[in-house]
Amino acid sequence: MGHSQEISEFKRDTMIGCHLCNKSISEISLLLNIPRSTVSGIITKWKQLGKTATQH
């Protein structure tokens, strides 16, 4: 099992910005050194809910 870490708000916002600039999930993953699955999940959540912030 991998280690779970919370992604900073800045990185989440950067992912969305890159996505809006037509960067691929792979490109965003390499740029931010974050797994593709995490990038994909955050972008999907943003598309569905309109936000990236985690709820506590």
What single letter denotes the amino acid at residue 28? Answer: I
The architecture CATH gives domain 9-49: Orthogonal Bundle (1.10)
Global pTM value = 0.82
Q: What are 33's two structure tokens?
A: 């050194």
Contacts of 56 (CB under 8 A, 6+ apart): none
Band of pLDDT at residue 6, cut at 50, 70 and 90 = confident
Q: What is the mean pLDDT of residues 34-38?
A: 96
pLDDT for res 3: 59
Q: Dihedral sign, CA of 1, 27, 18, 25?
A: negative
Chain mean pLDDT for the chain: 89
pLDDT for res 2: 56
The pLDDT tens digits of the residues spanning 11-27 come to: 999 999 999 999 999 99
